[in-house]
Amino acid sequence: MAKYIGKRILMMIPVLLGVILVVFIMNHISPGNPAELLAGEGATDEAVAALEEELGLNDPLYVQFFNYVKGIVTGFDLGTSYQTKRPVIDELMDRFPTTAKLALLSIIISTVVGITLGIISAVKQNTIIDHISTGFALIGVSMPAFWAGMMLILLFSIYLKWLPVSGVDTWTGWILPAFTSSMVGMATITRMTRSSMLEVLCQDYIVTARAKGLSEKIIIVKHALKNALIPIITVVGIQLGTMLGGAVLTESVFSIPGLGKYMVDSIKNRDYPVVQGGVLLLAIVFSLVNLLVDIIYAYVDPRIKSQYSRGKKRAD
Amino acid sequence: MDNNEVLLKVSNLVVHYETHKAVVEAVNNVSFEIRGGETLGLVGETGAGKTTIALAIMSLLPKNTGRIVQGSIELGGRDITSLSAREMRAVRGRDVSMIFQDPMSALNPVMRVDAQIAELIRLHRHVSRLDAARQAQEILKKVGIQPERAGEYPHQFSGGMKQRVVIAMALACSPKLLIADEPTTALDVTIQAQVLDLIRELKDASGTSMLLITHDLGVVAETCDRVAVIYAGEIVEYGTLEDIFDHASHPYTKCLFATIPSLDKDVERLQPITGPAVNSADLPEGCSFCGRCPQAREICMTHDPSQVEVAPGHLVKCVLAEEGLL
Amino acid sequence: MHTEAMERLNKKKKNKSQDKAVGVWAEVAYRLSRNRAAVFGLVIILILVLFALFPQAFAGYGYDDQDYSRIFIAPCAEHPMGTDDLGRDIFSRVVYGTRISLSVGLISMLCSLLLGGLLGSLSAVNGGVSDNVIMRICDVFMSIPGTLLAISICAALGTGMTNLIIAITIALVPSFSRTVRAAILTVKDQEYIEAARAIGASKARLILRHMFPNALGPIIVRATLDVAGGITTAAALSFIGLGVAPPTPEWGCMLTQAKQYITSLDKWYIVVFPGVMIMITVFALNLFGDGLRDAFDPRSKN
């Protein structure tokens, strides 16, 4: 198992370097001269030139990239915000916990609800319950989350006046944003669980389990779900990524002071290092989540683990 | 062993598969018995309804489509078609168990093999987790899987080994009846005999009766006490091993034997059965074999013959038998 | 012997293969037509396409016709979806918006189909180093969540429809390449490909004549769903101020402007209708895409 995890971490390094390269390029082609923008409006040409030299903007591109990677690896250096002149990483980390909390809350909601609905749908295939839940799931994946959030505000905050319009100062403030950003994930996981369960339920080993005299409940939970879980776990991982991306939208709809809203504000202020730094940070988080997903994967499906462990070869 | 009492008595069993498009008459009026310790071979080609009979006995017909239309299945004197789902669950795995055709897919890929067997033992014997695990190891040892491999996952075993696991699982609770659905078809020829021997050995040791489903007459000759030849969901010939092998009477049975190469007879070509198997969704009015029967006559097209006892215990369902021509 | 008999044989073969080709598509079309949900989706898509092609025929006003005497009119006979803060008819704007959303979705899909199809088939057919390189590059792009990647690209390139399409295309290409690669790999090892190779068919012929038609099912399904994905992403980007800028009646863009009125319940129609249009469009494409998937692979339904 340790070997498998080690191998996965090693495989992650080139991918992360690639991600850094992409963000570096995006930073590079972003409009404006960073030195001018950092120095401020009234800065002299000399001051700008000095800053250019200091930032290494005159170095060849590959040297700049090398330094960029070095800065990230040694001190999480994502550059300096044009607006506040503070290190981007500090600005981002101030707001990251809020975003992480929202994403975690949403992924829990969407996984629990999605898997439950998916199982019910699959077991009661082609009944009215199935039609209702697949219908909702289809509408769920079709609604843009940011608009759904606005509709929820309109209904629960403005019309019914049950929940706050914006902010997360009280726990009630979390309800709508968490539901909004979990909606797409919930629908996707429901659909995935349903189709995965349906596929598993017609496998021979389910007939074997029935032939043993096991009850339907045990067959579904112990035999079918564990097998169906394999593709579901992948989808959950991908959904967490989608939620991190969606956080940008959800947070700006609900005015939640997290990473996403900060990035949107920075887009409006043309504070590009912040935007790209935020993308990089979230991409790294996403990669770590995927690493975790792969480890869980190997835990659920013994076939994957044994691909990586030697010695125990197939008998035939 | 013939004197033992009847363990399984299937009477006038009719099974249909109903979809919105068509009704498939998979099993038509099938009756047979299996006595204690005895093995009945169910022989026929693909699609003849052999597996459907097995699933009907296990009460595992596809929930939405398969339906027992008529008939009874008595196990030890109790009609199991009328049992509730819960009562039937107690029967499955304990009194009747089944070996499936394809060992590759019959085991749960994400569960250790000993756990899959222990689960069954715990369910029906109500023993502790530890005892169940121990008993699982014992039965695995009996089928030739060493304790150090018992904790492995199915994908770590070869096809033959997996079938041994499936056999161990089927016999773990010493069932009264074992249904073996083409237990060797998916295996390499070289290990077919081993696996068959193993099944026979274990079932004889525990006094279990067996319903062996196969299309391989060689397997039947080695294993069975009685044989039922099935065609298009009907038993066309039924008798002891000698009745069928030495006095085959139904044209279909004769055709089956003509398809097997024989060492002691010098035959130029094997005789295939001509024409396609009959469509169970659209059975002919008369005898269902008449389209392919070399001895078919005009009456066969319209008249569906009934079973005739041509010798004690030897039943044949053919016009020729009805007319005493056999 | 050689001439006549062979000719007849060839003719027979040819007819047969044609029959089969027609058969597969006819079969898919038949199954699709039997799927009520998919047909419903297709009808909605066709109506939206009509909106996009002939907006003047449906819209009573231009998309930027401002009338300050008629601001914030609730839905009525003359303005079925009401008017906005500048007195523009929301229904007319929404109809014109169809053209933008559909073309952004469609063009991005076509671009990513082209690029992803190329990369994916190169990867699958050549294997080895090129497969590895292409797939690792895809890994890189896929480890950035799609919306974020699009945000990053749009932020760097600036606003505008072209940049929006570029951003969405780049975000779609990696997973598209994978779909194409997987689809080709599944057919690659089938025996009929072996057979074609054995009789000496060229590589191009193998790809175009044998692999592509058989791998087409999952690719078409993917493309349909990607149009939906592209439309949602485009709306999202416009909503946060990237992508299309006002006064273009892009649906996401309309919602940005509407957002400030969310606290006034009486102006609900400004916030509701553009979103409803996005939802209907994406919903229809999803219905149709699901139907296509079931039609191509009837086993997937059960």
CB B310 within 8 A of CB B319: no
Within 8 A by CB and 6+ apart from C118, the residues are: none
> Which pLDDT band holds residue A311 (cuts at 50, 70, 90)?
very low
DSSP string covering A205-250:
HHHHHHHTT--HHHIIIIIIHHHHHHHHHHHHHHHHHHHHHHHHHH
CB within 8 Å: A213 and B153: no
**Dihedral angle sign, alpha carbons of residues A41, A45, A49, A51:** negative
| Inter-CA distances, B191 with A293, B159, B250, Å | 40, 10, 32
Residue A51 lies in a domain: no
CB within 8 Å: A214 and B123: yes
CB C277 within 8 A of CB C58: no
Please determine, for residue B219, whether its predicted confidence score (pLDDT) is greater than 60.
yes
CB C288 within 8 A of CB C295: no
Residue pLDDT, tens place only, C63-119:
888 888 888 888 888 888 888 888 899 999 999 999 999 999 999 999 999 999 899
3-state SS record for C116-154: HHHHHHHHHHHCHHHHHHHHHHHHHHHCCCHHHHHHHHH
> Which pLDDT band holds residue A115 (cuts at 50, 70, 90)?
very high
CB B24 within 8 A of CB B10: no
CB within 8 Å: A139 and C149: no
CA end-to-end distance (rounded Å), chain C: 50
Nearest neighbour of C241 by CB, restricted to A26, A202, A264: A264
pLDDT value, residue A41:
73
Nearest neighbour of A208 by CB, restricted to B94, B100, B161: B100
pLDDT value, residue C106:
95
Q: What is the crossing angle of helices A128-142 and A88-123, to 10°?
A: 160
Domains of chain C are 25-55+86-186+221-300 (1.10.3720.10)
Chosen from A196, A199, A206, A208 to mutate, greatest number of chain B CBs within 10 A: A208
pLDDT value, residue C284:
95
Encoded tokens for B25: 């008459």
pLDDT value, residue C7:
54
Residue of A nearest to B90 (CA): A213
Q: Is C298 exposed, middle or buried (0-12, 13-18, 19+ CB in 10 A)?
A: exposed
> Which pLDDT band holds residue B264 (cuts at 50, 70, 90)?
low
**Distance (Å, rounded) from C-alpha C214 to C-alpha C224?**
17
pLDDT value, residue C2:
47
Chosen from A203, A212, A301 to mutate, greatest number of chain B CBs within 10 A: A212
**Distance (Å, rounded) from C-alpha C96 to C-alpha C103?**
11
Please tell me the distance in Å from B191's CA to the nearest CA on chain A.
Answer: 12
Identify the H or E element spanning A15: helix A2-29
Beta carbon pairs, A and B, within 8 Å: 90
CB C65 within 8 A of CB C214: no
β partners of residue B92: B96
Residue A184 lies in a domain: yes
β partners of residue A87: A80
Residue A54 lies in a domain: no
Give Dmax over CA atoms of chain A in angstroms.
Answer: 85
Nearest neighbour of A204 by CB, restricted to B102, B110, B123: B102
**Distance (Å, rounded) from C-alpha C60 to C-alpha B149?**
77
CB within 8 Å: A303 and B161: no
**Distance (Å, rounded) from C-alpha C247 to C-alpha C245?**
6
pLDDT value, residue C212:
67
> Which pLDDT band holds residue B1 (cuts at 50, 70, 90)?
very low
CB B120 within 8 A of CB B173: yes
CB C188 within 8 A of CB C211: yes
For the residues A291-305, what does the mean pLDDT come to? 82
| Inter-CA distances, A244 with A98, A111, A261, A269, C260, Å | 12, 15, 12, 22, 24
CB C27 within 8 A of CB C298: no
CB within 8 Å: A213 and B123: yes
Subunits in contact with chain A (3 or more CB pairs closer than 8 Å): B, C
Beta carbon pairs, A and C, within 8 Å: 147
β-strand pairing of B314-317 with B78-79: unpaired
Residue A105 lies in a domain: yes
β partners of residue B43: B214, B229
Residue pLDDT, tens place only, B100-122:
888 888 999 989 999 999 999 99
Contacts of range C26-30, beta carbons closer than 8 Å, 24 or more positions apart: C28/C217, C28/C292, C28/C295, C28/C296, C29/C295
Please tell me the distance in Å from A213's CA to the nearest CA on chain C.
Answer: 24
Residue A221 lies in a domain: yes
Residue A214 structural domain: 88-315
CB within 8 Å: A146 and C143: no
Contacts of range B75-80, beta carbons closer than 8 Å, 24 or more positions apart: B75/B7, B75/B8, B75/B176, B75/B177, B76/B7, B76/B176
pLDDT value, residue A276:
86
Alpha helices for chain B (secondary structure H): 50-58, 85-91, 103-106, 113-125, 129-142, 147-150, 159-171, 189-206, 217-223, 241-246, 251-258, 298-302, 319-322
Q: Comparing A177-191, A277-291, B281-295, C258-272, which segment has the lowest mean pLDDT?
A: B281-295
Please tell me the distance in Å from A194's CA to the nearest CA on chain B.
Answer: 18
Residue A147 lies in a domain: yes
pLDDT value, residue C45:
95
CB within 8 Å: B156 and A315: yes
**Distance (Å, rounded) from C-alpha A78 to C-alpha A275?**
10
pLDDT value, residue B262:
66
Residue A220: HSE in the Cβ half-sphere, 13 Å Cα cutoff: 16
Residue pLDDT, tens place only, A58-68:
888 888 888 88
Encoded tokens for C168: 């969405």
Residue of C nearest to A290 (CA): C143
Mean pLDDT rounded to a whole number for chain A: 86
Chain A stretch 228-267, residues whose beta carbon is closer than 8 A to a beta carbon of chain B: none
- Residue ranges of chain C whose pLDDT lies below 70: 1-24, 207, 211-213, 298-302
Mean pLDDT rounded to a whole number for chain B: 87
What does residue A200 show for φ and ψ, rounded to 5 degrees? -65, -40
Structurally, how many domains does chain A consist of?
1
**CATH number for the domain harbouring residue A190:** 1.10.3720.10
For the residues B234-252, what does the mean pLDDT come to? 90
CB A242 within 8 A of CB A180: no
Residue B66: HSE in the Cβ half-sphere, 13 Å Cα cutoff: 18
On whether any CB of chain B is under 8 Å from the CB of A316, the answer is: yes
Chain C stretch 57-116, residues whose beta carbon is closer than 8 A to a beta carbon of chain A: none
Stated pTM of the model: 0.83
Residue A211 lies in a domain: yes
CB within 8 Å: A146 and C271: no
In percent, the amount of chain B with pLDDT more than 70 equals 96
CB within 8 Å: A276 and C156: yes
**Distance (Å, rounded) from C-alpha A220 to C-alpha B77?**
32
> Which pLDDT band holds residue B265 (cuts at 50, 70, 90)?
low
Q: Comparing A150-159, B202-211, C18-27, C68-77, which segment has the lowest mean pLDDT?
A: C18-27
pLDDT value, residue C1:
39
CB A147 within 8 A of CB C278: yes
Please determine, for residue A3, whether its predicted confidence score (pLDDT) is greater than 60.
yes
Residue A29 lies in a domain: no
Subunits in contact with chain B (3 or more CB pairs closer than 8 Å): A
| Inter-CA distances, B19 with B24, B25, B282, C294, Å | 8, 11, 14, 19
